Amino acid sequence: MSEMSFEQMLDESFKTIHNGEVVEGTVIDVKEDEIILNIGCKADGIITKAEYTTDNSVDLREVVHVGDKMEAKVMKVNDGEGQILLTYRRLAAEKGNKKLEEAMNSHEILKAPVVQVLNGGLIALVEEARVFIPASLVSDTYEKNLEKYNGQEIEFVITEFNPRRRRIIGDRKQILVARKAQMQKELFERIQVGDIVEGVVKNVTDFGAFIDLGGADGLLHISEMSWGHVENPKKVFKVGEKIEVLIKDINGEKIALSLKFPEKNPWLTAGEKYAPGTVVTGRVARMTDFGAFIELEPGVDALLHVSQISHDHVDKPSDVLKQGQEITAKVVDLNEADRKISLSIKLLEQPAGEQEEYADEAADVEETFDEGTEE
């Protein structure tokens, strides 16, 4: 047997590869638009930027470095210039497709970045395999702006897998629905009427605010926002604000909330603060033809009957008083059981010897108009 020449031995040392074969190599150079691999052949392997990723913004020199080990798939053994064309992206997509198929069969929850926002949904990338998530399956609520998901990592499950038709469908909605159902179950097992819990203001309407309690929303009705009068909830609460609320009632899946904490009920100390004979200052909250209701503090209103406004004849309170006006008066009567207080300005102006007579008169008038104090 004749001895082989050095060139022949060198050729023998190089392995033979074929189109479609998966090879492993070492990065020997990285350029702006291509990666060069030593794959143990006579020629080096070339991976163009387009065959590395579909993301044009990627700088190959930042993600791949000399000395890195890489797997790639042979596209062409000879591109006409003696080079071997490789693809990293397609091999990764094949691996990604296999992972997606396994995930669909096992109902595994995947997490991947959103690489593209379309009119009809999102594209997420799993190892270069593209997953389409329709807009209707992105969330359990209507999403007007899908752009906020661009570049974010999201979780989803695979519900349809057909790579030949390029139809791989992801679903994020069912994950959110299932988690909320579990959170709701845990919430209702945990809370009971009378509990004070923390929530986040989710939505504010003219009649109240919906509070996210972490699993279910509770309604904080406008009448339960304060011991006093709240005219516009939108001026009191902001979406995203954290608040502590009282569980007032639970009816099935409906939760009624309140900020009227019993220990802060102003009527607990009203007997001491507004005893008959006490001079008080308050604000005209509202008026009727027979009198004005004076807010002494949030949650405590008193009736100033029209006959007790002045010694002069007054046809109706609005003739001499204005909404929001501050007045000073004397407490004539206090009924803690019915939460009613009657006031008199006229009594303040009477000589001391005649005040008892007018006090009795004012109390009698108050009883006559008890219905007017009902809210």
pLDDT one-digit tens code per residue, 202-226: 999 999 999 999 989 999 999 999 9
Say yes or no: 271 and 235 in one domain.
Answer: no
Residue whose C-alpha is closest to residue 346's, from 284, 317, 299, 304: 304
- Classify 39 as helix, strand or coil: coil
In a domain, 375, yes or no: no
Say yes or no: 253 and 282 in one domain.
Answer: no
In a domain, 308, yes or no: yes
In a domain, 163, yes or no: yes
In a domain, 270, yes or no: yes
Assess whether pLDDT exceeds 50 at residue 371: no
Start-to-end Cα distance in the chain: 116
Q: Tell me which residue has tokens 């009068």.
A: 229
- Residue 239 or 83, more confident: 239
Say yes or no: 281 and 249 in one domain.
Answer: no
Query: How many CA atoms are closer than 13 Å to the CA of 156, on its beta-carbon side?
Result: 31
Say yes or no: 360 and 283 in one domain.
Answer: yes
Q: Where are the beta strands (DSSP E) in the chain?
A: 22-30, 34-38, 45-48, 69-76, 84-87, 110-118, 121-126, 129-134, 153-162, 167-171, 196-204, 208-212, 217-221, 242-251, 254-258, 279-287, 291-297, 300-305, 326-335, 340-344
- The rounded distance, in Å, linking the Cα atoms of 338 and 202 is 36
Say yes or no: 118 and 211 in one domain.
Answer: no
In a domain, 284, yes or no: yes
Assess whether pLDDT exceeds 70 at residue 15: no
φ/ψ of residue 294, rounded to 5: -105, 125
- Chain segment 119-146, per-residue pLDDT in tens: 899 999 988 889 999 999 999 988 889 9
Say yes or no: 79 and 134 in one domain.
Answer: no
Residue 165: give the domain boundaries: 98-175
Total domains, the chain: 4
Say yes or no: 270 and 342 in one domain.
Answer: yes
- Classify 24 as helix, strand or coil: strand
Average the pLDDT over 218-236 and give the result.
92
Strongest mean pLDDT among 13-27, 79-93, 300-314: 300-314
**What CATH number is given to the structural domain containing 125?**
2.40.50.140
Q: Is the pTM of this model over 0.75?
A: no
Residue whose C-alpha is closest to residue 110's, from 74, 72, 155, 79: 155
Say yes or no: 274 and 199 in one domain.
Answer: no
